[in-house]
Each structure stands twice: as structure tokens, then as C-alpha cells.
Structure 1
Amino acid sequence: MKIENSFFVILIAVLLFSPSTFAQDMGGAGASSITEDFSAETVGAPPKSFAPAVGNWLIGIDKDNKVLVVDGSKWRRGQTSAGLADKARALYGERYAEFLDNVKAYAYFPFAVFSRVDNFSNGTISMRFKSIAGRIDQGAGILFDLKPNGDYYALRANPLENNLVLWRFKHGKRSSVSWVRNVRTPSRQWHDIALKVKGNGIEGYVNGKRYMEYRLPAAVSGKVGIWTKADSVVFFDDYKVER
């Protein structure tokens, strides 16, 4: 089953072009930090701080702490967030149609977009993650440089493969950009992953250790979020953007 392009395009239109109460454009205002710890969210409900694009995302509990959960046990290829299409049409009418020729759906890769940052180009994105289950995958990644046509990058760790990979998603195709082996992130344990960006230079960290340095073809600029794959069941917490 393939995701309908129009649904995905509508999502991009809402995320990239709608005004947000929480969005911040730092410009030259100096350093700032935004942290989402999900403490104000409602357990059992979809997140308000992230806009799910593909997959099942809800607020859960780990011991006494609220977390964001991607529930890959209910994953279906191409699943979009409930009610998104109707909301987008109500807000923008046919405006989304301009994206139809440019967007390819990445139905195999659930992700959710952070609602509180309109554009990220320089700084650090970090989060904690705890992989719980998944036979196909248990990926946990930082999505960044999300463009209006749906292109993006994702830096992800994977307990099943013990590696750190920078993926590029462009014009409907996925390719590995940089690959680091022997990066251990055992399942059912909390880990930290961080991405540092300066222009087109990036660095990837896991549990405080730098594993990756890479220079992209162009400077980073776009939306950010959380990325995973297929049937992964993963807890996320303390998503932080520093600029």
C-alpha cells in the first residue's frame, strides 16, 4: 500500500507555511534553547509539540516520566496522522497543489516534525531515546533540513546494527551519506544522540562521544524532527534545539 502523495504534500504545506504560536525565528537575536520534555502533554494522546507525518505517535509513560512513543507494532506503510488532510484543506484550500509534482512519499520511514521551530540552520539538536522493540528495525534518528518538497536528512542510531548513519532523502530516493560502525546503543536503555550544524558542516554524537564529521553539499536550512523506521517501537524524551 503506497502513501497518497496529496496527504504528504498537505503535511509539508501545513508545517512549512503555517504560522505557529510556538515557532521562533532567531535571526541575529543571539543564542537560544528550546527543550520539549513532554511534561505538558496528555498520556495516550497524539503529541501537540510534534506533527506526526507517517506512523503511530502518541504520548506514553516510562516509569513516572512522560515520553513520546512511536508505536511500530501498529505500523502500516504510508500511514498519515488522523485528520491532517481535512485540517490542511480548511486552512489552505488548494494551495497545497503546487507541491504535488515535487514530493515523493517515504512510506517506510515514520517521522514527526517539531512544531516549535520554523527553520534550523546552525546549532545543536539533541534528544534521548530508548529502543523497546522492532524485528525489522529499532532506529532512532534526528530529522533535519526538511524542505517544502519533502527532501530531508536523518542522523540515526540503531541498536540492531550498532551503527550511526547519516541518510539523505531526495526526490523519492534514500541514500547513505556517512556510515560509522561499532556505535553501541543497546535496546531498553536510554541513550543520547546529538547533531551539531554549522553551515554545511555537521557532527554526530552518541552518548557524548563524537563519531561523525561530514560536510554537506549545501548549508542546512529547514524544519527538524524525529525519524524512525518501519516497526520500531521507541521512546523519545528531552528533544532540545539550541541556536
Structure 2
Amino acid sequence: MLRLILATILVSASFWTHAAELRFDFGKHEVGSAPSNFVSTVSGLGEAGVWKIVEDDVPSAFAPLSPNATPSSTKRRVLAQTSKDTTDEHFPLLIYNNEVFGDFTVTTRFKCISGEKAQMAGLVFRYQDEDNFYVVRASASGNTFRFYKVVGGQRSTPIGPEIQIPGGTWHDLSVTCKGNQIRCSLNGKEAIPMLTDNSFMAGKIGFWTKSDAVSYFSDTHIEYTPREPIAQKVVRDMMIRYPRLLGLKITAFKASDALQVIASSNESEMGKAGSKTEASVIKEDQFYTAKGKESITVYLPLRDRNGETIAALSIKLKSFVGQTESNALARSLPINKEIAARIQEAKHLFE
């Protein structure tokens, strides 16, 4: 039976082993629409780009059976950047917003269509914000293939060769990141020697163009090692540090206002809806206990470094003869304090 603890108590404030794959299916979107789950922004000057779905002839990914045969192509829906803003230091970006990638391989096809100032297309990766990211880009107008990084809004010296990149033709672009190692390939060949850089170890992935370049992208997919969320790692560490714990769970409201389990010692609970008790802990900033036959669960607010409640922490303890709510709470507070020290902002719950 749940009982509200009325006493006022002050509380001080990697990676998974399996691989995953993500494919961007532009074919499911209507022509003229913007793809979902992406954010359009700009680095440098000018307005954000105009990203939308168009139709174009795209060659088959499979080589023809006969060496003398012409590769077949089909009209398909592809992603296009169509803004013709001629501002020189103008870099439209379209960022995939649903995942942060650490180690990965991203491949895409691109086609430079037109542009008076520039005819370029590329990928941004390990993106933090408009002023901090890596980019590899190909220029049909300059016949160059370059890598550079932007840190604090300052662009590094570009690295890469001069190479023929015909406009109006589809090309393959690939980037592989593993730890601090970066490999960039064009049309199946590593065009830049392996790079080593420690500026960004994880971030988002997106598409890049420059100035008035109209560029198309297709057949984009990412193979990656999913990163263990910070909250889940903290829960796992606490279960090791406190071996007498029977269970540990963090529940929070996501952007959709849905209360979900975001970290748990029982991974089958991940993503499930939170309870009314956990909702009350967050909304009312209260402490609760629930007694079981051989256990007691303490529900506490998890607060950020400013003292704001950002989640509900559920700590399941083995009960003993003479167990009271007060001493169960006293046993739980050190765990709450350690977790709060490692999850100091709401965003850390979902990273």
C-alpha cells in the first residue's frame, strides 16, 4: 500500500555490443514535401536551405551482368536542396534528429545539379550544433574532395585531393568513424588517407551543401553501434556498486509528454509507460514508498543541478524485520545522490 512520506527531506544535488542499421526511405514522402525526423538549419551566413523530395532517374545499385551493358535506372524520389542563395559563406544543413552516432559507417549517393557560386554536396557527421561538426564534401565545380572540421565556428584547413567529379552524375560517398579514426571514400575508393581527430567522439549525421548549389541525395543508410544511454549506464553501474539492490528504475516525461521508463535494471521495462505513482513523484515533488511481501520500493524525485525535478527514481530494496519507511528512505538517499551527481541535466536522461 502506498503511503505519502510527509517529512521534508533535502536531497543534494559506451556502447552496446550489437550493430544496427538505419535507412532513409525518401520514397515514402510526397514530392515537394520535407522528409520527417530531420531539422533544416544553416552554418555560416544566410537563411536555412530548402530541402524537399523530388523525382530523378537513379541508377541501379547492382552492376549490369554484361560489362558492355548500360546500367539500368529508374525514376525515384530523392532528397534535394533547392535554395539558390548565393551568399558565399552559406552552408545549408539537414540534420537527422532522432539519433546520436558514435562509431558508424554512413553511405549515400549524391548528384550535383547546378550552381553559379558552387556545385557541391556532402555529409556532416558527429554534429553538435551549427558551429561544431565534421564535414566531407565533393565539388563538381572545383573538382575537389575535401574533409574539414568546424570548431567554435572556425573552419580548419581542408584536407583532400583534386579529383574529377562530373556534375549531373550520381556518385557514392562514404564515411566511417571508429573512435578517433575517420575514413572518407568516394565512388568506392578511399580518397583521403585515414584521419585521426579527437574533437568530436559522437554526434548527429546530416546532409551539407554550399551557397546556391542544388544537390540531390539518395540511397542513404547508416550502419552503427548503438550508444548506451547515460541513464542506463548509470543504473547498471549502481546495481554493481550496490549488490543488495533488488531493482532500480528511472522514469521521465519525454518530449511527447509521455511518461516512460528510460532506464531500468530490468531491460524488458525500457520504453514502457510509467505509473501514476511515478507521475506524482515528478509533478508533486513528493516521496512515496510501496511495501511488498519481502521488499520495499522507494520512489524519489531525481533533481538536476538546479534542484528541479526531472525524473522519478524507483529503488527496490530487500526488506527486513523492523523495516520502516524512514530507514528505507535513509538507505535510498545515497543512491539518489550519486545518480543526481552523474545526471545533472534533463538532456542527460535521453543521450
Whether the TM-score (by the shorter chain) exceeds 0.5 is yes
Give the 3-state SS of the residue equivalent to 2:28 in structure 1. coil
Note the residue ranges of structure 2 that are not aligned, 5 or more in a row.
1-13, 42-47, 58-74, 225-351
Structure 1, residues 114-143: CA drift from partner, whole Å, max 9, x if none? 134x21111201100011101111111110
Match of 1:164 in 2: 145
8 Å CA contact 1:34–1:242 kept in 2: the answer is yes
The answer to whether residue 165 in structure 2 is matched with residue 185 in structure 1 is: yes
* Deviates further, 107-116 or 202-211: 107-116
Match of 2:178 in 1: 198
Structure 1, residues 190-239: CA drift from partner, whole Å, max 9, x if none? 00000011111111100101111211134521111001100000111111
Structure 1, residues 38-90: CA drift from partner, whole Å, max 9, x if none? 011111112214221121111111142001100133x375xxxxxxxxxxxxx
Match of 1:10 in 2: none
Q: 1:194 to 1:149 in 2, by over 3 A?
A: closer
Q: Which runs of 4+ in 1 moved over 2 A?
A: 217-220
8 Å CA contact 1:121–1:219 kept in 2: the answer is no
Q: 1:154 to 1:125 in 2, by over 3 A?
A: same
Higher radius of gyration, 1 or 2: 2
Match of 2:55 in 1: 61
Distance 2:144 2:16 in 1: 36
Query: Structure 1 length normalisation: TM-score?
Result: 0.72
Match of 2:93 in 1: 111
Distance 1:211 1:149 in 2: 26
Distance 2:53 2:219 in 1: 13
8 Å CA contact 2:86–2:117 kept in 1: the answer is no
Distance 1:239 1:109 in 2: 20
Tell me how many residue pairs correspond in the alignment.
187
Correspondence list, 1:1-243, <5 A: 27-53=15-41, 54-63=48-57, 64-73=75-84, 75=85, 108-116=90-98, 118-148=99-129, 150-182=131-163, 184-212=164-192, 213-218=194-199, 220-243=201-224
Distance 1:144 1:209 in 2: 19
Please give the root-mean-square deviation of Cα atoms over the aligned residues, in Å. Answer: 2.0
Distance 1:161 1:239 in 2: 24
User: What amino acid is aligned across from residue 151 of structure 2 in structure 1?
Assistant: K
Distance 1:216 1:163 in 2: 21
Distance 1:219 1:107 in 2: 23
Give the 3-state SS of the residue equivalent to 2:159 in structure 1. strand
User: What amino acid is aligned across from residue 52 of structure 2 in structure 1?
Assistant: L
Distance 2:131 2:35 in 1: 21
Q: How far is the alpha carbon of 1:148 from its aligned partner?
A: 4.7
Query: Structure 2 length normalisation: TM-score?
Result: 0.50
Give the 3-state SS of the residue equivalent to 2:161 in structure 1. strand
Distance 2:78 2:37 in 1: 12
Structure 1, residues 86-115: CA drift from partner, whole Å, max 9, x if none? xxxxxxxxxxxxxxxxxxxx9610010013
User: What amino acid is aligned across from residue 109 of structure 1 in structure 2?
Assistant: F
Distance 1:211 1:108 in 2: 25
8 Å CA contact 2:160–2:191 kept in 1: the answer is no
Note the residue ranges of structure 1 that are not aligned, 5 or more in a row.
1-25, 78-105
Distance 1:76 1:47 in 2: 24
Distance 2:89 2:18 in 1: 38
Distance 1:149 1:29 in 2: 31
8 Å CA contact 1:155–1:204 kept in 2: the answer is yes
User: What amino acid is aligned across from residue 66 of structure 1 in structure 2?
Assistant: R
Percent same amino acid among aligned pairs? Answer: 29
